[in-house]
C-alpha cells in the first residue's frame, strides 16, 4: 500500500482507549470535541454503520448558544451549551447553562439551571435553578431517570 493515501492498522487503533473508571470515560468522550479526533475516527474510508433513527432536526434558539459541542438530532437548545455532548432529544431550556457535560437521551435541563462537568444518563430531569458541578477529573454522575 502507498502510505501517503492509505491507512494502516496502527491508524485504525490509535484512537482506542482503555476505560476503567468514570473519569476515563469522561476524558475519552470529551476528546471527541477535538475536530482532528473526529476526523480520524469518522474517516470515510472506514464508515460506521448504525441503526437509523429518524428524528426532527435540532432546534437552536438564536438567543441561546451552542459552542464546540456535539449535538444529536431532536434536541431543543434554548439555553447555553459549551463543550458538551448531547444525545437525542435533550432539552436545554432558556437561561440554562450546560458546560463540559455528557447528556444522554431525553435529559431535560430546566430554566435557570447550571450544570458543569455532569454525566446524565437517560431521562434525567434537572429542575429550574438547580446548580450541579463536578470536575473534569471527577465528573458528577446522575443515574437513569434521576430528578434533581
Burial of 107 (0-12, 13-18, 19+ CB in 10 A): buried
φ and ψ at residue 39, rounded to 5 degrees: -60, -40
pLDDT of residue 6: 46
3-state SS assignment for residue 31: helix
Give the three cell numbers for residue 110.
Answer: 430546566
**How confident is the chain (148 residues) per 10-residue block, as mean pLDDT?**
45 68 93 87 79 81 92 95 97 98 98 98 98 96 98
pLDDT of residue 115: 98
Amino acid at each position: 500500500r502507498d502510505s501517503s493515501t492509505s491507512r494502516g492498522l496502527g491508524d485504525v487503533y490509535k484512537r482506542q482507549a482503555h476505560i476503567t473508571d468514570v473519569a476515563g470515560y469522561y476524558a475519552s468522550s470529551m476528546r471527541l470535541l477535538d475536530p482532528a479526533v473526529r476526523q480520524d475516527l469518522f474517516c470515510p474510508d472506514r464508515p460506521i454503520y448504525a441503526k437509523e433513527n429518524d428524528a426532527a432536526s435540532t432546534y437552536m434558539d438564536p438567543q441561546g448558544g451552542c459552542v464546540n459541542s456535539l449535538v444529536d438530532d431532536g434536541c431543543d437548545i434554548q439555553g447555553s451549551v459549551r463543550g458538551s455532548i448531547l444525545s437525542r432529544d435533550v432539552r436545554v431550556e432558556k437561561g440554562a447553562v450546560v458546560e463540559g457535560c455528557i447528556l444522554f437521551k431525553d435529559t431535560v435541563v430546566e430554566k435557570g439551571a447550571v450544570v458543569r462537568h455532569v454525566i446524565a444518563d437517560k431521562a434525567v430531569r434537572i429542575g429550574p435553578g438547580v446548580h450541579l458541578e463536578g470536575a473534569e477529573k471527577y465528573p458528577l454522575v446522575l443515574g437513569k431517570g434521576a430528578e434533581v
